[in-house]
Chains A and B, each alone.
Chain A
Amino acid sequence: MKNYLIFFLLVGLVHSNSKGQVGDPLLKDTLLKATQYSIPSSGAFTLLGVNPENVSTPGFSRDFKIDYFFQDAQLNPNIALQCQPFWLLFYKNKTIDSWSDANFLHSIVANTEFSFGSTENQTKGNQFAYSFKTTIGYNPLTDTSFSKGYETVLGAVASSINQLNMNLTMEKIAIKFKQDSLENEAFNLKTELSNLSNYQTLEKNKLISEINTINAQIAEMTSRVFIINSTIEDNLNNENKKLEENAKKYVSNYMETKKSKFRMDIGFGQVFQYKDTLVTELNPLLTGFGIWINPGFGFCLDKNKSSCNNSLLFAAIGKLTVIDTITEITSGFNIRYVGGKTDVFTEYSPVFTGQQLTANRISFGGGYELDNQKYLQIGFLMDFDQKFKLTKIQPTFMVNLELGRDVFKTK
């Protein structure tokens, strides 16, 4: 467990030192909810085959994820740690402009997840695995197009304000400058007036008359400035109503275009067996490797919503593992319904050992999102033989802890 602790601390350190600037935190969260549908699987557990479902959920995790898996009512070391090291170390601090210039290779590297997990079961003994997995497809975490498009909407309003108000503003500024000069003139006349003696009545009356004329002009100008300011304010209020409508429409349309995005996981990893649970005496032995490809897409069942509350997710997997010189090919498909915080799934996956069908695996189960970071999943994994006779039934229970949903901070 010491290794886990060191790994956890290292990743936690990186995590706490990161200050992302890519986009808006709430938008990212909403985009994740609108497009992710459910929590993606850890690569190490996919490789070790201990997920409640056999067909993994493709997709992007948050910065850091911990999966804890219970099996056969035993408290085993079935734990998987997962993070996106390249994203955390090199990409999270990038500005949106840098992301706009990022090429396909950069986005693949940034999306790459590393996971490490261990499991213990009666037939295979103690095993641990590491894996690298990357995801191709729409990634809300690195989405840079929202802000750019949003600015176009805002820019149109800014330009409209210009057309509506600039002539009025010019008139107002010309008046104010004229007012300034008249006020100076009135001040000078008043100074001159105060210097006159009481006997200079004619001159005094003339000055008073001039001051009154100037004051009348200033009052007239003040009244005109007041009307101009009211008109400018009215124009802005009308523009703000348009802006609000356009902004809401933009956000809603944007979400709609992202909901049914296709994504595909491609993973590779190695499996080791260990004898002793003491870290210093693990004596790990490489027993095999696995590769898998895991496409999936979802669509939202809600209409005209900027965030998705009811959705269907389809996923498939093709996995090849060569462990202990036994080649196993697993394929299958999974259908998952997600309604709010709850989801249910069912799947079918035939397992081939060598050329021979060794199991027809049917799983079903569901999950519940306790909050933004904690997710519980329970499932039943049933193996049938070639004649569809039940040979094994295994309940599974998993806890996902996801960190990093709210780490995007703007300056």
Chain B
Amino acid sequence: MHKENIVYFSPQGSVVTLILKPFYATNGAYDIYITNGTQMQKIGKGSFSDGIEDVFILPIVPAQLSSWVVVIAGAFASAYGHSQILVHYTFYQNGVALSEQITIEHIGSSLATQNDVYFKKI
């Protein structure tokens, strides 16, 4: 499943954080990339083994960019028997949520997914 989302940010904020949180015992492995349109940089990878959320601090300075994109390429699967995969993720700027939480939801026991999140200056 491929999804695109737009998140608006303020250039005044300095730190942008991404928190991914799985629900319903979803197992997962994913890579996170960031790009300004000319080059793509892998900023981390994560995995869910026990339902605990993962936190990433994005290496960007919002004041210097008018837009950028975060790409989350992941593979999620139910450990056994579940028929729904659910992962929430939210971006924060200086501790304040930049948007409503974005949800990866899938009916089925496995999901290869790519989520492109476009950041645009307000």
**B112/A24 in contact, CB under 8 A:** no
A174 to B118, CA, bound (A): 12
Measured between beta carbons, the chain A residues less than 8 angstroms from B27 are 24, 147, 150-151, 154
Q: How big is chain B's contact interface, by range?
A: 35 or more
Number of A-B pairs, beta carbon distance below 8 Å = 145
Interface of B is mostly: strand
Closest to B82 in A: A26
B91 CB within 8 Å of chain A: no
B11 CB within 8 Å of chain A: no
B79 CB within 8 Å of chain A: yes
Closest to B50 in A: A96
A23-B50, A244-B110 given; A150·B79 CB < 8 A: yes
Closest to B72 in A: A158
Closest CB-CB distance, B8 to chain A, in whole Å?
Answer: 13
**B49/A247 in contact, CB under 8 A:** no
**B49/A147 in contact, CB under 8 A:** yes
**A165/B73 in contact, CB under 8 A:** yes
**A162/B73 in contact, CB under 8 A:** yes
**A174/B47 in contact, CB under 8 A:** no
Cross-interface CB contact of B80 among A26, A165, A172, A180, cutoff 8 Å: A26
A180 to B47, CA, bound (A): 34
Measured between beta carbons, the chain A residues less than 8 angstroms from B52 are 21, 95, 411
A148 CB within 8 Å of chain B: yes
A173-B35, A236-B114 given; A146·B71 CB < 8 A: no
B76 CB within 8 Å of chain A: yes
Interface bits B63-102 vs A (CB < 8 Å: 1, else 0):
0000101010111111111100000000000000000000
Closest CB-CB distance, B88 to chain A, in whole Å?
Answer: 12
Which of B12-20, B37-45, B54-62 lies on the face that meets chain A?
B37-45
Measured between beta carbons, the chain B residues less than 8 angstroms from A172 are 116
A158 to B114, CA, bound (A): 9
**B114/A165 in contact, CB under 8 A:** yes
Given contacts A146-B79, A147-B49, A236-B112, 8 further A-B contacts (CB under 8 A): A95-B50, A158-B29, A158-B74, A173-B69, A173-B116, A177-B67, A243-B77, A243-B111
6 A-B pairs with least C-beta separation: A410-B51, A24-B79, A157-B75, A155-B29, A239-B112, A154-B29
23 A–B contacts, CB within 8 A, in A order: A21-B50, A23-B25, A23-B50, A24-B25, A24-B80, A26-B80, A26-B82, A27-B81, A95-B52, A96-B50, A147-B49, A151-B27, A151-B47, A151-B49, A154-B27, A158-B29, A161-B31, A161-B114, A169-B40, A170-B40, A232-B114, A306-B80, A411-B53
